[in-house]
Structure formats: structure tokens, C-alpha cells
Amino acid sequence: MSTVDLGMPRVGFFTDTSVCIGCKACEVACKEWNAVPTKGALELTGESFDNTSELSADSWRHVAFIEQQVQTPSENGPQEGVRWLMSSDVCKHCTHSACLDVCPTGSLFRTEFGTVVVQQDICNGCGYCVSACPYGVIAQREDDGRVFKCTMCYDRLKVGSEPACAQACPTQSIQFGDLDELRERAQTRVEELHAAGQDKARLYGESPDDGVGGAGAFFLLLDEPEVYGLPPDPIVTTRDLGAMWRRVGAAGAALLAGVAAAYLSDRG
């Protein structure tokens, strides 16, 4: 099972949804820097102000707009109001990456920064990684079947620059840096929100003990993960591969032993 073993600090994203204003600057910066096609970017989906809908081969960042009906206090009693939850989603760059486990060509690889990147020039479009991803992040382009996703701006990291989305974010909702430092910062932020009465504030994807060994891109949420379209308990889909192959090997060995025994019995 693919994991992270680096000789240098691992970097990642911390997305604080409590200060996201839904400006989509991250989406624009991502598309501009990485030359991601603008296909569908100007279409109206009918999903609030969201014109992206989901992460895809042509949307490596996706800002979700979630409208919730809430009761707000007033002089005339509780009034119906709208609460906005906004979050910029991205590839999680998992510690245990199922996409790496199933790629038959080595197109997907772990960088020296702990991120997961696709090399499109050797991607054969098999799509194994698409079904292996527990978050539904990786997608294929319709024209040739090759997969595309966030690279955490690998080319920028190699020259000491931060990813384009983090640089463009006007509220520091998207923060980039040493993953351990980001986790400490995120925990402090959660405590601040709890003290301010935001009891539902929680971290998602930061724990090394979760089903993917901790994410390289984690989030501060103000509601349940399902509200944001995130799986509550993601599990690396290849976790049982080793045991499965061992069982196959044992069954094969038993079959061969049976055949050999039958053959020797006939000769006797």
C-alpha cells in the first residue's frame, strides 16, 4: 500500500472553510497557471452560484456553495434565513494513495514533497485510479481518456513558490506549508471557533489514524462532512490487496498440490 517516506518535511493544504467567501479566485488561478481548459466554466448549473459542480479533469479546484435554511433571532421572533457554507475542494494527496497502488504504468508518482502527481505523457487512460480514489477526485478527459487532477503546482514547489490557489486566496482560507505546522494551526483555529460558539467546527482529513493515513490537503468544516459532499469515513480502497493476493496464492498452491497428488496417485 502506497505511503509517504520522505527525507524532508511534507507540505500540504489547510483549507479553513470558515473564512471562505466563495470568490473562486482559487479556481481561476488554478486554471490559469496549469492551463486547465475552461470547458463549462461559464455555464449555469442551477446549483446556487456554483458553476463547477464538482472536481473533474477540467476543474482541479471546486468551490462549493451550500445554502442552509436557518432560524435567525429578531425583535419579532425567529425569522427564516439562509446560512452559506463555502468550501474550496481539491485532491487530498493521501498518505495511503490507492491511485498509486493501482496505476499500471507508473503515471502516478509520489513527489519529494509528499504530493501525488499524474504524468499525462505516460497515462494510458485505463481509468483504474478513477475507481480507486475514495474521494472521487480523479477524472478522465473525454477526448483521450487520460486522467488529470491537482498537482499542488509541483512546478512551483520545485522553485520554492507556493501553489497558485493559495497565493490567490484573498482571505487565507487556503493555507499552504509544512503539514505538521498546518495541523497545529488548524487545531488552534478550531478551539477559537468553539470558544466563539461554533460548536460544529471540526477538522477533516488531518488525522494520521483515519482510513487514508491522513490527507495532504485537509479542511476545517462547520458542519458534517456529508454536507460538503465529503465521505465521513474515507478508506483507502486497496487496503486489503495484500491479504487478497495471499489468499489467492494459498488457493493456487492448494490447487497445485491437489493436482500433483492426483497425478502421483494415478502413476502408483
Annotated binding site: 20, 23, 26, 30, 91, 94, 99, 103, 123, 126, 129, 133, 150, 153, 165, 169
The residue with cell 425567529 is 78
Distance CA 188, CA 167 (A): 22
DSSP one-letter string for 239-263: TTHHHHHHHHHHHHHHHHHHHHHHH
Binding site members for [4Fe-4S] cluster = 20, 23, 26, 30, 91, 94, 99, 103, 123, 126, 129, 133, 150, 153, 165, 169
**What 3-state class would DSSP assign to 66?**
strand
The residue with cell 425583535 is 75
**How many residues does this entry show for the chain?**
268
Residues 146/147/150/151 CA torsion (nearest 10 deg)? -60
Among 191, 186, 188, 187, which residue's Cα sits nearest to residue 176? 186
Intra-chain end-to-end CA distance of the chain, in Å:
46
The phi and psi torsions of 9 (rounded to 5 degrees) equal -60, 140
Please work out, in degrees rounded to the nearest 5, the angle formed at the alpha carbon of residue 12 by the alpha carbons of 54 and 190: 85
